[in-house]
Structure 1
Amino acid sequence: MYKRIEQLCREAGVNVTTMCREAGVPRSALSDYKAGRIKSLAADKLAKIAGYFNVSVDHLLGKEKTPAPRRTASL
């Protein structure tokens, strides 16, 4: 999953630190995940990252090969 996030950052022209700051996700959470100190990211953090890139959480988790846009509820 970390490689997929890095790839999305490259495609968006931002580094991981900038993405974390702008998405409201602690950089330490991704560092801990990359280093294996934690096994997964919390759902709220995944949702923020997915929202930042306008992709689904399933895409971040590798369950979708192409980044399907997130669906938003219409009022």
Structure 2
Amino acid sequence: MQNIHIATTIKLLCKVRGISINAFLKECELTKSFIYDLEKRNASPSADKLTKISNYFDCSVDYLLGRTDNPDSHKK
């Protein structure tokens, strides 16, 4: 279930920021099947991938994982 949340959050962040999923995947050097794998295959992203994604969107990993509703929780 957490992986589906990650995929949903990524889609939302792309939509809010006006970024296509393909552009996001390319910029983060992720495979084209990354989102599908999260949603349908219940694949778990590595810590490295989560870090790349959080850096790309400038949000916390906790936000991607659904541990907080505040994407800026990593900022002091």
TM-score, with normalisation over the residues of structure 1?
Answer: 0.80
1:11-68 superposed Cα distances (whole Å, 9 cap, x missing partner): 1101211101012222222221111x13411111111111100001111001110111
Kindly indicate whether residue 12 of structure 2 is the aligned counterpart of residue 7 of structure 1: yes
Q: Which of 30, 52, 64 is the aligned partner of 2:56?
A: 52
Q: Which runs of 5+ in 2 are unaligned?
A: 1-5
Alignment of 1:38-49 (within 5 A): 38-49=42-53
Q: Cα RMSD over matched residues?
A: 1.6
TM-score, with normalisation over the residues of structure 2?
Answer: 0.79
Aligned length: 70
> Which stretches of structure 1, 4 residues or more, deviate above 6 A after TM superposition?
none
